[in-house]
Amino acid sequence: MSEKYILAIDQGTTGTNVALVTIRGEIFASSYKEITQFYPKPGWVEHDPYEILESVYACIKELLKVSKVAPRDIFTIGITNQRETTVIWDRETGKVIHNAIVWQCRRTSPICQELLNTSDSETITNITGLSIDPYFSATKIKWLLQKVPEAYRKSKQGKLAFGTLDSWLIWNMTGGKNHVTDVTNASRTMLLDLETQEWSRAILGVLDIPMELLPQVCDSDADFGICEIDVLDNLKIPITGVAGDQHASLFGQACFNVGEAKCTYGTGAFLLMNTGSEIKKSAKGLLSTVSWKVKGVIEYALEGSVFSAGAIVQWLRDELNIIDSADSVEQLARSVNDTEGVYFVPAFTGLGAPHWDMDARGTIVGLTRGAGKAHIARASLEAIAYQCEEVLRIMRQDSGNDILELKVDGGATSNSLLMQMQADISNCKVNSAVIQETTVLGAAFIAGIGSGIWDSVSDIAAMWQSQTVYTPFMKEIERNRKLNEWSKAVVTSKTWASQL
């Protein structure tokens, strides 16, 4: 009998990755395709939903061609996706009413500011576990309903459908039969009641968003429908696992015990700590969110989102032109032993956790005549580590758990200088997994449980393997000095924006 595979789809911010995962938890083959970023105005970010859909199909086609795996050998499908990115389409025609509004987009800042000035602000945070910010889907939905002609009227009539990108993909892959999402993606909309895992009628009322617009909320390992698409020979293949990308990564990193934490370094950096069955409320700017709901058991997490991580390196390459490729930043940063007092706060789209300052702007401080591109490159890598440490410090405080080890994944983990910086700045071990594509792997694992390939998370934990462990060496006095200087730079970033 031929090998059976899980087809795992990871639709991310900068591209789509599709992989075939074996029942031994190994990635057999994968295919990747970039997608276009659109910036219609400063601070606005959009994607073309049709391009995203086609990127998924193109990756599947290429993957099957290169791997020589037949569609009949695919047992089930798992989907993970960039979260919060918002699409609304016509239920009858399947046509979108507007480009997808990406999680990074700040166009809804005025709506958020208006909400923050009302008594509803605290209610929304208490119900959803989220801070009011343009990051989340709710105000993007409201903006679309206000700005697109006839959108509000049609939504009230049940003629339109909203979805994060998992919903958009499932709708198309099932021929428009299933308008669904999973509880992790739903928890990122700023519309879900964390305790009941149902849409909050109170928040929908505050924002004037019709219930008829929303997808059905399912467990992460639910039956999401039957996929029938040309690139898979129109075979009936079940979709049995869905999770937002950071939740899938937490699952793929086998962080199944309370207090275990991971960081995914992508366009941004996303840190999650498993808090088990308890919703931990943060008093200092972290988010309470769903980890996953698998085998009928709901688990929660504390999360901190750093908006700019890999985006910093892209900026050095594409806008400043001080490096030729993302890989070359490490060599340039290593050419100096210290930043010589240069600190970089990469608030390109404001600051995420724990600051949630939508108006902060990028700032470089401490420049002298002797500062050069190598110092800026090193300060850029340090900025990623500092931002992550801000989140980790509050996670420790809010949860009451020390973090002795941070599991890491994502493209930046190949940068050993950054990983050592993270260990030093955070004073904890940084553990890099053997399989770095833990997001796509997590989607496969959840789908595997949903389809019965694996019985429980214990089966997943047994397959996780460590590759490299970075141990902290920095002295405490030096660590404290650097963190203090970084904090001053952040204040400058925030106060500069307030004076504009």
Percentage of the chain surpassing pLDDT 90? 69
Return the ∠ at Cα 361 (arms to 350 and 492), rounded to 5°: 115
What mean pLDDT comes out for the span 65-76? 94
Q: What is the mean pLDDT of residues 303-321?
A: 87
**d(Cα 191, Cα 255) in Å, to the nearest integer?**
26
DSSP-derived secondary structure for 134-152:
TTSHHHHHHHHHHHSTTHH
DSSP strands (E only) in 420-481:
429-433, 466-470
Say how far apart CA 118 and CA 130 lie, in whole Å.
16
Contact 260, 273 (CB under 8 A): yes
198 conformational bin, left if phi > 0, alpha if psi -120 to 50, beta if neither: beta
Distances in Å between the Cα of 243 and the Cα atoms of 7, 102, 142, 248 are 14, 17, 24, 6
- Sort 496 into a burial class: Cβ within 10 Å, 0-12 / 13-18 / 19+: middle
Sorting pLDDT into bands at 50, 70 and 90, what band is 50?
A: very high
* pLDDT score for 403: 84
pLDDT in tens, 396-430: 888 888 888 899 988 888 899 999 999 999 999 99
Q: Which pLDDT band holds residue 497 (cuts at 50, 70, 90)?
A: low
Q: What is the pLDDT of residues 204-241, one digit of tens each?
A: 999 999 999 999 999 999 999 999 999 999 999 999 99
pLDDT of residue 269 exceeding 50: yes
The Cα–Cα gap between 20 and 31 comes to 9
Please compute the mean of the pLDDT values over residues 297-323 and round it to a whole number.
Answer: 88
- Entry field: residues in the chain: 500
- The residue ranges of every structural domain in the chain are 5-245, 255-433+465-500
Q: Which pLDDT score, from 0 to 100, does residue 2 have?
A: 66
Q: Which residue has the tokens 């000035």?
A: 117
What pLDDT does residue 347 have?
83
Amino acid at 112: C
Answer yes or no: is pLDDT of 496 > 80: no
Q: State both tokens at 381.
A: 């890598």
Q: 255-433+465-500: same fold as 5-245? A: yes
* Cα distance between residue 444 and residue 252, in whole Å: 9
Q: What is the pLDDT of residues 72-99, one digit of tens each?
A: 999 999 999 999 999 999 999 999 999 9
Q: How far apart are CA 15 and CA 378, in angstroms?
A: 27
Q: What angle do CA 302, 303, 308 make, to 5 degrees?
A: 165
| Structural contact between residues 31 and 8, judged by C-beta atoms closer than 8 angstroms | no
Percent of the chain with pLDDT over 70: 98
Predicted confidence band of residue 326 (pLDDT cuts 50, 70, 90): confident
Q: What is the mean pLDDT of the chain?
A: 91
207 near 139, Cβ under 8 Å? yes
**Which pLDDT does position 261 carry in this prediction?**
92
Q: What is the DSSP letter of 211?
A: G
* pLDDT tens string 86-132: 999 999 999 999 999 999 899 999 999 999 999 898 899 999 988 88
> Do residues 111 and 213 make contact, with C-beta atoms less than 8 angstroms apart?
no
Nearest Cα neighbor of 303 from 218, 381, 394 is 394
Domain 255-433+465-500 carries which CATH code? 3.30.420.40
The answer, yes or no, to whether residue 7 has pLDDT greater than 70, is: yes
The pTM assigned to this predicted structure is 0.86
Which residue's entry shows tokens 């393997």?
465
Cα 433 from Cα 89, distance rounded (Å): 38
5-245: what fold?
Answer: Nucleotidyltransferase; domain 5 (3.30.420)
C-alpha Rg value of the chain to the nearest Å: 22
pLDDT, tens digit (0-9, with 9 covering 90-100), for 347-366: 887 787 777 777 788 888 88
Q: Which tokens go with 470?
A: 């970075």
Q: Identify the CA nearest to 15 among candidates 83, 60, 82.
A: 82
Whether residue 1 is predicted with pLDDT greater than 50 in this model: the reply is: no
* Nearest CA among 222, 220, 204 for reference residue 212: 204
Confidence class for position 17, pLDDT limits 50, 70, 90: very high
**pLDDT tops 90 at residue 436:** no
To the nearest 10°, the Cα dihedral for 444, 101, 86, 348? 60
Give the C-alpha separation, 281 to 287, whole Å: 8
CB neighbour list of residue 484: distance below 8 Å, 6 or more residues apart: none
Rounded to 5 degrees, φ, ψ at 437 are -80, 55
